[in-house]
Amino acid sequence: MNYNEIARETLQAIGGKENVAAAAHCATRLRLALHDESLVDQEKLDAMDSVKGTFSTGGQYQIIFGSGTVNNVYAEFSKLTGTDGMSTADVKSAGAKNMNPLQQFVKMLSDIFVPIIPAIVAGGLLMGINNLLTAQGLFIDGQSLVEAYPNMADLAALINTFANAAFVFLPILIGFSATQRFGGNPYLGAALGMIMVHPDLLNGWGYGGALVSGEIPVWSIFGFEIEKIGYQGTVLPVLAASFILAKVELSLRKVVPSALDNLLTPLLTIFVTGILTFTLVGPLTRSAGNLLSDGMIWLYDTTGFVGGALFGLLYAPIVITGMHHSFIAVETQLLADIAKTGGSFIFVVATMSNVAQGGATLAVFTMTKNKKLKGTASAAGISSLLGITEPAMFGVNLKLRYPFIGALIGSAVATAFVTFFKVKAIALGAAGLPGIISIQHEGLVQYVIGMVIAIAISFVATIVLGKRDEKKQAVQQAA
């Protein structure tokens, strides 16, 4: 394979070197920030054997070459464009200029929450292991593993401690990431998060009980009372506080003399932001967060399988717009407040949508006689079943249209099924076949059945729609 030639053809098809603002690559895709996407010769890219698919999202134009190939293509491409050494962060930054305000807001949430996902995933999966050890009658009739084997009790307790840590100290993780994103000192953000979960404060999860009993501790300062309430497991309060902290810090650095900057700026930043957090920002955003959680629970419980089917139908179109990245913040809130919410239903919906896309792509694999499309569909279909849908959705299903429609049908039916049985996830992870380890044990069977439904219906629907599409094309050619 001549990678230099592929790089040259690709560059010519996207409008030349002058149209490239930034370039990098991930595991399978060449990721580009272009000055003008209207200059792209889509037909030329589609005709290239090495190109598995293309799509545009979040201000980036992405070309799918596949694992291994993309590294070699980028090495040659970067020489031609002078983009050697650029990272995906550079592409995101350049691509952000092409985004509308809503897309920029979604990108901001993604930038904050994506770095902390591993900690949340680890905590959630450990929580799942603890549930397996303590669940009544899951493996042994009428008993949990811990009850049947008492020597495992402390192991379960240890795992539970490890699992809770990321959620108990969530404001520290978000404080660091959010403050960094807003342009402030991330360590000051982490310190603010520590203040918000300080052990001297009333534990945030005990706030409801304290309200009922009327025993809320306060600081009484010159007759003004400030509630000593912690913010364990919260999202919105620390997001808002981190934004204020970053702006206060940046403002202070402009006016504080350089000789006193390292002393006064951190002191005043933490003090001013801390006061605002506990008097105004924290209480307001805590209420907003509770309304968000309660609203999501109400919507899920009230609309039932009908609402589930609608969400399953719309999830893939939402992914196309890139708006699904905003769900990360909502899922984090649902998981942090798992005692009330029971977990995240969004993860389950995402899984049904992803495997449905995979089922539709595999149907194309069985039907098509085009060798290039068959090769792309086989790899993309398997990838989608494992939770990575971009190659399947953008490389196959959207191009042919009818597989995408088949996937939407399968996703809607499967999501209606799992919603009817209230299946929820207790952790984030790969929203596909591996996601089974993220599901609460009460819904494991229904989760697996839901995936089978999604794959089967999308597969059959795609074949039916594909046969109809073939007949239409035959009639058009005959005419």
How high is the pLDDT of residue 423? 92
From CA 75, how far away is CA 94, in angstroms rounded?
20
For residues 92 and 142, state if they share a domain: no
Residue 477 identity (one-letter amino acid):
Q
Query: Does the structure show a pLDDT above 70 at 422?
Result: yes
For residues 147 and 294, state if they share a domain: yes
For residues 348 and 242, state if they share a domain: no
How high is the pLDDT of residue 198? 92
Domain count, the chain: 3
| Mean pLDDT, rounded, for 407-416 | 95
From CA 33, how far away is CA 112, in angstroms rounded?
21
Tell me, yes or no, whether 470 lies in a domain: yes
Percentage above 70 pLDDT, the chain: 92
Tell me, yes or no, whether 63 lies in a domain: yes
109-138 pLDDT, tens digit per residue, is 878 887 888 888 788 788 878 877 887 666
For residues 141 and 171, state if they share a domain: yes
From CA 336, how far away is CA 347, in angstroms rounded?
14
Which CATH number belongs to the domain containing residue 12 in this structure?
A: 3.30.1360.60
For residues 229 and 139, state if they share a domain: yes
From CA 71, how far away is CA 172, in angstroms rounded?
36
pTM for the model stands at 0.72
How high is the pLDDT of residue 90? 67
Question: Helix, strand, or coil here: 299?
Answer: helix
For residues 385 and 266, state if they share a domain: no
For residues 459 and 367, state if they share a domain: yes
User: Which residue would you say has higher pLDDT here, 367 or 55?
Assistant: 367
For residues 297 and 210, state if they share a domain: yes
How high is the pLDDT of residue 470? 81
Check if the beta carbon of residue 31 is closer than 8 Å to that of residue 65: no
Query: Does the structure show a pLDDT above 90 at 27?
Result: no
Residue 23's domain comprises: 3-98
How high is the pLDDT of residue 140? 62
For residues 89 and 120, state if they share a domain: no
Tell me, yes or no, whether 336 lies in a domain: no
For residues 272 and 362, state if they share a domain: no
Query: Does the structure show a pLDDT above 70 at 148?
Result: yes
Whole-angstrom CA distances from 160 to 148, 155, 267 are 18, 9, 36
Where is the domain boundary, 305, 335, 365? 305
Check 26, 276, 330, 460 and give the catalytic one: 26
- 26 as an active site residue: the answer is yes
CB proximity list for 341: less than 8 A, separation 6 or greater: 293, 296, 297, 334, 335, 424
Query: Does the structure show a pLDDT above 80 at 283?
Result: yes
